[in-house]
Structure 1
Amino acid sequence: MFKVAVIGASGLLGRAVVDELAAQPAWQVVGTAFSRPAPNTVALDVRDPRAIEQFVEREAPDALVIAAAERRPDVCERQPELARALNVDAVRAIAVAAHRRGAWTLSISTDYVFDGTHPPYQPDSAPAPLNAYGRSKLDGEQALTDTTDLGCVLRLPLLYGPIVDWAESAVTSLVPAIAASASVQGKAANMDAWAIRYPTFTPDVAFVIRQMLERHAAGNAIRGIVQWSGDEPMTKYEIAMRLGRALQLDARLVPQHAPTDATPRPHNCHLASDRLEQLGIDRRTPFDTAIRQVLAAFPWRGDTSA
């Protein structure tokens, strides 16, 4: 029996990973959660190194996937100590416990470790984060690689997938503004048309992670840094236009061709996925197909309050 612990199993990516791995008949999955505990998860505060150590000793996983993080750039700017606790210190504590057990550790990182000026970025491209979020995730990468030689960093871009509320993904968080702009008395919504993003479907990422775990289970663990990304470049404005069409809304959207965010964000951090593709690891669902799946599973009915 191959056992995997998913740290942060209640989040956007964590849920998709658990769903994918739980479908493997010869595997056992244990998920942890903190802010959104569920009956099928183990309560774990990743800011508590002793609790992490006890969890790993008790569950004895063969591999761990770290999906817990503070991923909101604006929050990281305002609360750098929280960003460091979740994105750096927790990764190190988990890697220490996993290394002691001899378990493979996969830590999730971000395209925001780059400044967005020279895409596409390879795993060995020089990082240059522009904001506190990117800096904390880069430090988290270093924490993993400094702690264990049986580990891997997986860099990912903007994620979307099945949600529990609109705000859970930066993609679906646009829906309330889109809906308001389409209402009779609503105002047109300004949407960023400067930064280029590569929306990536969480069930696709979960499939990729499962393939990576299969290699570890077969004795061919992937180490170092790898990257995975959707292959459709689009701005927030273009994402919003596609969402409006999927929702059959006549949205009134105004493209903003210069950066307007208070937190600096990179222009184009396209991640090259060559290393995983060369290993035969690959799955990408077209955005229009995937976003319709997301919206169908989270009924619209004109309600954006959820």
Structure 2
Amino acid sequence: MMKVAVTGASGVLGSAVFKAFQAMDGVEVIGLANSRAGAGLRKLNLTNKEDVEVFLTELKPNWVIHCAAERRPDVAEKDPAAAQRLNAEVPGFLASLSKTLKFKLVYISTDYVFDGTSPPYTPTSLTNPLQLYGKSKRDGELAVLCVDGAQVVVLRVPVLYGPAPKNSDSAINILLDVVQDQSGKTYKMDHYATRYPTNVIDIANFLVRLTRLKEPIPPILHYSSDEPYTKYEICLTFAKILGLPHKHIIPDSEPPTGAGATTRPRDCQLYTKETEALLGGDLGLSLFEEWWTEALKK
């Protein structure tokens, strides 16, 4: 029986990955969480190296899918040391365990390792992150790829959406709250940066397929939708689906500036042809408006 450990299994992506592997026959999956452990998840502080090594040594997993991360750029800027520890040091240690314990490690990275000036970006494109979050994830990539003898895959993904305990868990889902706030409050909404929101269920299903592949897997893969949206355009889409007015949402076409503004790249589109070839041509992507139309009916 194949054993899979999923870190960050209480998060939006991690919970989708955990459920996808639970639905597989012949797989034992263990979901790991820290602050939100419970509901069948094992509590484990990934920054405690001794506990992590003991756990994985006893478990003897075939795969570790590392979804745990500080994913919020604004929060990363406020506590750089904590972001660096979780986004770079922890995956580096997991890669060293991958070498000694002989499991395959998938490190979930981000399109924000690129500067957004010359899309689309291939897996071999030079990274040049603009802010601390992107730098910490880039450092995580280097940490796992530099462990000689480790079996690691870096999977870069863009901004995510999908089922979530609360809308604030996703930078996309939370825009529903903005659209539905008809109190008279106005919102300036980013109409500068192009994003490619991708469904966590699709990524989870892709990871299941990845573990079944017999051929060698490249060290860096990209998985992304190809539908471009600004945050303002996403709000318009939600307003259309919900039948709500959107005059309280004001498009902002300028790059973020000023004190406290976190720099964000303009367009980090990920080139996915290598991933498509690996899967035989089908990434299995949801259409954004179609998925949300069905989800909001429920």
Alignment of 1:1-306 (within 5 A): 1-147=1-147, 148-180=149-181, 183=182, 185-215=183-213, 218=214, 220-252=215-247, 253-260=249-256, 262-280=261-279, 282-296=283-297
> Residue 172 of structure 1: CA displacement?
1.2
- Match of 1:3, SS? strand
Distance 1:126 1:67 in 2: 23
Separation in structure 2 between the aligned mates of residue 194 and residue 154 of structure 1, nearest angstrom: 26
Residues 78-129 of structure 1 show CA distances to partners (whole Å, capped at 9, x for unaligned) of 1110111110111012112222111010000000000000000001101000
Alpha-carbon shift at residue 237 of structure 1 (Å): 0.4
- For the 8 Å contact 2:95–2:151, the answer to whether it is kept is no
**In structure 1, how many angstroms separate the alpha carbons of the residues matched to 2:199 and 2:10?**
16
Gaps of 5+ in 1: 298-306
Instruction: Give the drift of 1:292.
Output: 3.1
Given that residues 8 and 14 in structure 2 are in contact (C-alpha distance below 8 angstroms), is that contact kept between their aligned partners in structure 1? yes
Distance in 1 of aligned mates of 2:174 and 2:58: 38
Shift of 1:231: 1.0
State the distance in 2 between where 1:294 and 1:82 align. Answer: 35
Q: Which moved more, 1:76-85 or 1:273-282?
A: 273-282
Q: Distance in 1 between matches of 2:295 and 2:10?
A: 17
2:99 partner SS: helix
Matched residues in 1 for 2:15 and 2:216: separation? 23
Length, aligned pairs only: 291
1:302 match: none
- 1:293 positional shift: 4.3
Q: Percent of aligned positions with the same letter in both sequences?
A: 37
Q: Check the 8 A contact 1:91/1:107 in 2, yes or no.
A: yes
> TM-score, length-normalised on structure 2?
0.94
Q: Comparing 41-50 with 253-262, which one deviates more in the overlay? A: 253-262
The 1-side partners of 2:107 and 2:96 are apart by 13
Unpaired runs of 5+ in structure 2? none
> Displacement, 1:189?
2.3
State the alpha-carbon separation in 2 of the partners of residues 62 and 150 from structure 1. 11
Letter in structure 1 aligned against 2:278: L
- AA partner of residue 59 (structure 1): L
Kept in 2: contact 1:123–1:227 (CA 8 A): yes
Q: TM-score, normalised by structure 1?
A: 0.92
CA RMSD of aligned residues (A): 1.3
| Runs of 4+ that moved beyond 4 A | none
User: Counterpart of 1:53 in 2: which secondary structure?
Assistant: helix
CA contact (8 A) 2:256 2:264 kept: no
Deviation at 1:294, TM superposition (A): 4.1
